[in-house]
Amino acid sequence: MAFGYAASMRAQPGKRDDVIKILLSGLDGLRQAGCSVYAVSVEDEDPDMIRIYEVWESAEHHTASLQLPETKAAIATAMPMLTGEFTARHGTVVGGLGVGGLGVA
């Protein structure tokens, strides 16, 4: 089964779009690292909140992606633009639209 990861982070006021640009800059590398779904969204009611949902081949693929030089560089660049307010959840993806060969639940 695939590994799902959902996170949120709060950008410093006025920095949300800069952080989003960084988050979306390495999509090809994510696919090569084993990520099949990577979605970044913002909240209409909370302009500084950013949410990310990812589906990976496995938890190990996700962990390994965090060690890639481009991932480390992106994190280092984005971190000063964030407040430090983060949430993270993970679990097993059992199906849905856009999640590869898992089928539709």
Going from the N-terminus, what domains does the chain have, and what CATH number goes with each?
Answer: 2-92 (3.30.70.100)
pLDDT (tens digit per residue) in 51-62: 999 999 999 999
pTM here is: 0.89
Q: What is the pLDDT of residues 66-86, one digit of tens each?
A: 999 999 999 999 999 999 999
Average of per-residue pLDDT values in the chain: 92
Q: What is the 3-state secondary structure (H, E, C) of the chain?
A: CEEEEEEEEEECCCCHHHHHHHHCCCHHHHHHHCEEEEEEEECCCCCCEEEEEEEECCHHHHHHHCCCHHHHHHHHHHHHHEEEEEEEEEEEECCCCCCHHHCCC
Percent of the chain with pLDDT over 90: 84
Average pLDDT of the segment spanning 25-38: 91
